[in-house]
Structure 1
Amino acid sequence: MDGVRKSIGFQGLLTVEAQGRGGGLAMLWKESQPWRLTGFYGEPNRSQRKRTWDLLRNLSRDSNLPWCIIGDMNNIRSQTNKKGGAHYPQWLLDGFNDTLEDVGLKDIDLYGHPFTWERGRDTDSFLEIRLDRAMATTNWFDLFPYAKLYNLEGSPSDHSAISLGLVCRITGDKNTKYFHATCNKRQRINLISKLKNDSGQWVDWQDGLKALIQTFYTDLFTVAPVEYDQVIDCVPHSISQDQNLELNKEVSKEEVKVALFQIHPDKAPGPDGNVLKGLNDTSIVLIPKKKNPTVVGEEKEKSNSSRGAKADSSV
């Protein structure tokens, strides 16, 4: 592992050797402003869960450094952190939340699927829970104000992997100038000022570029009549009658509330940075796939649906 550390330019290394066929652990880091990271595994036995809470309180007293803790907590914070199964015991919710309040740890927002553990997929007893999370103290958020936690789905395990992305706060005149120079350079690269039409003539925003782009994507997304009944008839049914009845039930207010509250508050803005007003409004941004594009279609489309549309699709 030391060779790996040197090859990727990291200064610190901590390893835990494998035990038999059990996998080991390796933690690597670069030197920066000191802060504290704790990898955590909560007590799985509910009757012994107080041990986890006491351990967190003891760890919080060990240091005043900015602190981040990440791992499988084996506990949730609210009923919205689970889908399916029996009601989560209130005493476990209260005990966990009281502990986090005492030690000053706050959740780092999770991007992606809201649950990180599952059991019984493709059965009537399918259960999903957010057991894995990352939390941090206020002075850690001051150090990493743009931190994001991602749910990396597709793991063969019953847990999905989570990834914590960090960007330090930029301070100082030289760093600020570099930051703005980098942003300005990216803005210039992404700027589309003119493109060629079907006749090979250049058109700009004053000369019909808007109409050219609208026509291209209107034609692209216009669906031609298709006879698909024969194809559908060949697809075997995978949803039972009972499941179909459940899916066609009227959406409750609670389901709408859960879907809305799972959307990050900064998500689904309009072109002016505010929330789009129309229920199905979508803002589309074209980003060049290569430097200096010449025709429509040499860009990738990034869409930003309204909060209402996102909630509708989530429900």
Structure 2
Amino acid sequence: MKHLAWNCRGLGNPRTVRELHLLVKEKSPDIIFLSETKCRRERIEKIRDKLKYACSFSVDSRGRSGGLAFLWKEGVEADLDSYSQSHISLLINASNSSLKRTLTGFYGQPIKGKRNESWDQLRLIHSRIQTPWLCMGDFNEIMYQDEQFGFGTRPFKQMEEFRLALVDCGLMDTSFIGSIFTWCNKREGLDLTKSRLDRALINEDWANLFDINQTHVLPGQCSDHNPLLIQSVNSEVVPKRRLFRYEVAWSNREGCKELIKEVWRQRILERTKLKDTRARLEGCREKLQAWSKEAFRT
């Protein structure tokens, strides 16, 4: 199953809606979570129909801020579990299993002084969870200092409180492919700041349910946040793809070694070294495939 999570920074802009439409056309996610929609239910439903999705549930914005929405395809059985101004939780009924799953779209408090309210909310959601759980969205916080680049540093206590909340909730990061940073202030020079504010988190039951849980950080244009594509699949249902082989001649081309080093330096949080290595190799495969097409274009 594929999930798309995106802080779109407002769906009143036609360019943003077009970008969302292109994302859906290219990635075909089963379920979409949007935060900071800055609109009301009627607007969400029009966009849902334009995207040809069957169902939706939304939380209206307050004035020109906030707003959350879930959209899902026909064939996905989903029931509303709980919601607030900062989250929506759905109970998903898998078609090939009697086991239900909880899917939460989350939006962390943008105001630093109220950030602990978000972690209390997350703990409250966790207290209801008795199923495999995927929690995705914009948490407005980083876990470690190397998840931020640019001016200023995050107070240790601020990051520690986020980490403690995740420990209390039994949540862990999925592996990811792409940039470690998911938000950028789009400034230049010394004013440039980038952070990893958006992520997908799973509990142990969800990790045991799927062989592969991977987050792809996608490029974005209209928002200052990157969309996330979260894939949860089992090996037997992974679509067949062309066998990838590393060519020795590539090492003589400029950029190949640097690309591999960049992937290997990325923080990938897996429960075992084997899964960590597999995630890094998968990242190298995808990067090298794209690089080789450009490097050897005739």
TM-score range, shorter chain: 0.5 to 0.7
Secondary structure of the structure 2 residue equivalent to 1:61: helix
- Is 1:262 equivalent to 2:274 in the alignment? no
1:13 aligns with 2:13: no
Cα deviations across residues 160-203 of structure 1 (Å, max 9, x unaligned)? 11111221465xxxxxxxx69x75xx67xx69xxxxxxxxxxxx
Once the 2 structures are TM-superposed, how far is the Cα of residue 150 of structure 1 from its aligned partner?
Answer: 0.8
Instruction: Determine the structure 2 residue equivalent to 1:28.
Output: 72
Task: Give the partner amino acid of 1:266.
Answer: R
2:164 and 2:253 map into 1 onto residues whose CA distance is 54
Name the structure where strand makes up a greater proportion of residues: 2
Where 1:52 maps in the other structure, the secondary structure is helix
Please tell me the residue identity of whatever aligns with 1:27: L
SS of residue paired to 1:148: strand
Q: Read off the aligned partner of 1:82 and give its amino acid letter.
A: Q
Paired amino acid for 1:262: R
Superposed CA offset, 1:186-223 (max 9, x none): 67xx69xxxxxxxxxxxxxxxxxxxxx99xx89xx999
Q: Is the 8 A contact 1:80 1:258 kept in 2?
A: no
Q: 2:152 aligns with which of 79, 86, 92?
A: 86
CA distance in 2 between counterparts of 1:43 and 1:109 reads 24
Q: d(CA) in 2 for partners of 1:89 and 1:21?
A: 29
Q: Provide the rounded CA distance (Å) in 1 between the counterparts of 2:201 and 2:139.
A: 10
* Structure-2 change in CA distance of 1:34 and 1:169 (3 Å): farther
Choose the corresponding residue for 1:164, options 227, 230, 233: 230
Q: Which residue of 2 is the match for residue 107 of structure 1?
A: 173
Task: Give me the whole-angstrom Cα distance separating, in 2, the residues matched to 1:15 and 1:119.
Answer: 30
8 Å CA contact 1:149, 1:165 repeated in 2: yes
Question: Is residue 132 of structure 1 aligned with residue 198 of structure 2?
Answer: yes
**Judging changes above 3 Å, is the alpha-carbon distance between structure 1 residues 100 and 26 closer, same or farther for their aligned structure 2 residues?**
closer
Deviation digits for residues 99-152 of structure 1, max 9, x if unmatched? 111110000122101101111422321100000001010001111221211111
Q: Secondary structure at the match of 1:121?
A: coil
CA distance in 2, matches of 1:143, 1:97: 24
Q: Do the aligned partners of 1:115 and 1:128 also contact (CA within 8 Å) in 2?
A: yes
**Aligned-partner residue type, residue 111 of structure 1:** I
Q: Secondary structure at the match of 1:124?
A: helix
Aligned to 2:183: 117
Alignment of 1:42 with 2:42, yes or no, is no
Q: Secondary structure at the match of 1:71?
A: strand
Could you say what secondary structure the match of 2:120 adopts? helix
Structure 1 match to 2:30: none
Q: Is the 8 A contact 2:264 2:280 kept in 1?
A: no
Offset from partner CA, 1:48-75 (integer Å, 9 cap, x none): 1111111111110112111111011011
Change (3 A) 1:258 1:267: closer
Q: Say whether the 8 Å CA contact 1:113–1:153 is kept in structure 2.
A: no
| TM-score, structure 1 normalization | 0.53
For 2:267 and 2:210, the matched residues in 1 are separated by 22
Counterpart-to-counterpart distance in 2, 1:58 and 1:38: 12
What's the CA shift for 1:34?
Answer: 1.3
For residue 78 of structure 1, report the CA deviation from its aligned partner. Answer: 0.4
Q: In structure 1, how many angstroms separate the alpha carbons of the residues matched to 2:59 and 2:160? A: 37
SS class of match (1:44): coil
Partners in 2 of 1:14 and 1:71 — Cα distance?
Answer: 17
Deviation at 1:266, TM superposition (A): 2.4
Q: Return the letter of the residue paired with 1:14.
A: S
Aligned AA (1:86)? G
Give the partner amino acid of 2:157.
W
Q: Write the deviation string for residues 255-275 of structure 1: whole angstroms up to 9, x where unpaired.
A: x99972436632565xxx9xx
| Structure 2 unaligned blocks of 5 or more | 1-44, 78-93, 255-260, 269-275
Assess if the C-alpha contact under 8 Å between 1:143 and 1:169 holds in 2: no
- The structure, 1 or 2, with the larger RCO (C-alpha pairs under 8 Å, 6+ apart) is 2
CA contact (8 A) 1:118 1:127 kept: yes
How far apart are residue 3 of structure 1 and its match?
12
